[in-house]
Amino acid sequence: MAGSRGGRINMSLRHVALLGAVMLFLLLGHITIVQAFGSHALNADHRNERPLLARFGHPRGDILTYDGTAIATSRPAGGGPYLYQRVYRHGELYAAVTGHLSLYRSTGIEQAQDAVLSGDDAKVKVRSLVRDGAIEGADVRLTISDRAQWAAYQSLKATGVPGAAVAINPATGAILALASYPSYDPNAFTTFDRARLAETVRRLRHEPGQPLLNRALHRAYPPGSTFKLVTTAAALGSGEYNPASLVNAPARLPLPGTSAFVRNDPGCRDPRPTLMYAFQVSCDTAFATIGLQLGQDILRDQAEAFGFNAESLAIPVTATPSRFPTAMNRAQTALAAIGHHDDRATPLMIAMLSAAVANDGVLMRPYLVEEVRLPDGSVINRAGPTPYRTAVPATLAKHLAAMMTTVTHAGGTGTGAAIPGVEVAAKTAMSRAVPGAEDNALVTAFAPADKPEVAVGVVLEHPGARAADAAPIARALIEAALA
């Protein structure tokens, strides 16, 4: 009987041991799952204070312009659990570049370069530990020019019209200016008062001007006549056209299979102009006819050579892709050839069109970060300009450049971008997203035409009576960059 009772006890102990082992296994498995798959969510949870205390517990690296102006820096918070607070100098002016860092999220360069700015990057962390053991972020020096950025933003602001402006060094791809209007003050997001922060987010998200939208990178517009650069490049590349070729430019062109027409502006009076003259005065029917003759595949190949339909262009802030449509009928192909139908381009892409032509047909990869520098002054990362696309052969780029210079001469559509003593190459446009909507005003340009130093893209949204201001914005930006 005693043996039977002992056997039952042993069996019970085995059951308890087995149950304990299963529970321990489940606990270890749960911990493993949380650490492997749930740590990111836990760290991102706004109720978790530990990541916030770490983020704001040491100085973050500065963001500087190319000229050395600190436009984002850290200062002691002056009390509370968080030791350092972000400060933005000339916040509205540079917001499209810096973005902001708040308790819950980051945008712009603050997000794209977070690892080096915060000190979490492996190279930054190792050097900090070797130096003095204190965690400290690295400084990020941008390609942005103080003078060019000021000209871009203030010129946009003076119009009172939503829009964007971008300037690029065509030889390197360095972005000299990147401005979006309306803008916002990133300092409004640096508060540690959660209720105040929530109110700031709510207010800015509901403002009709959409100040939080970075129009330069994240809104794509119908490119209108600026796309005629692409259509002209395709025509020249086909071997069937040269700048002196005569083209058909009737006052109105029936769109195949529809009852609709493409019409020319009054400035295009010659029904049989040269390709160069049609480009200068922007004859829609001429380029729609060329689009029909070339076909959508040739147009698409040329558009993609300029960077349309490319995914994930990071500068390092990721830009919205610019699009050239697929599977079009002939009427849609004619419209796409003049920058309508479903063509879409960001202001960055509008600047890239001119940058490619200016650099003998080679489009350099656009970039915003010139170098990353540790607090002791040592550089751990420096930009290396790299080709991004070969848009056209050098000989065709010369033809396109010569045609673009006629646009800023008397009789051209872009005389507002002309600069005394400097030959400016340009293409202007009025475009609309849908029939009946208000037009947008666009300019792509570069200068000096014979030795390019800057390429620009400007977009004004629904400017109405201020449409003519787009070309002077391009001129002011070019003048600032050349100065």
Both tokens assigned to 130 = 């070797």
Contact (Cβ atoms closer than 8 angstroms) between residue 403 and residue 279: yes
Provide the pairing of β-strand 70-76 with 63-64. antiparallel
Helix (H) or strand (E) holding 167: strand 163-168
The runs of H, that is alpha helices, within 262-386 are: 275-281, 284-294, 296-306, 330-336, 347-358
Domains of the chain: 216-369+386-482 (3.40.710.10)
Which amino acid type is present at position 333?
T
pLDDT tens for 454-472 read 999 999 999 999 999 999 9
Note the pLDDT of residue 27.
72
- Phi and psi, residue 167, nearest 5°: -125, 135
pLDDT tens for 363-412 read 999 999 999 999 888 899 999 999 999 999 999 999 999 999 999 999 99
Confidence of residue 14 (pLDDT cuts 50, 70, 90): confident
Give CA–CA dist 210/425, Å, rounded: 32
Q: Which residues are catalytic?
A: 225
The runs of H, that is alpha helices, within 215-346 are: 215-218, 228-237, 275-281, 284-294, 296-306, 330-336
pLDDT tens for 57-71 read 889 999 999 999 999
- Phi and psi, residue 444, nearest 5°: -120, 135
Which amino acid type is present at position 461?
E
The runs of H, that is alpha helices, within 34-140 are: 39-44, 49-55, 91-98, 108-112, 114-118, 122-131
Confidence of residue 17 (pLDDT cuts 50, 70, 90): confident
What's the pTM value of the predicted model, to 2 decimals? Answer: 0.89
Q: Is the pLDDT of residue 50 over 90?
A: no
pLDDT tens for 112-142 read 999 999 999 888 877 666 666 567 899 999 9
Give CA–CA dist 403/397, Å, rounded: 10
Both tokens assigned to 305 = 């050579």
Residues present in the chain in total: 483
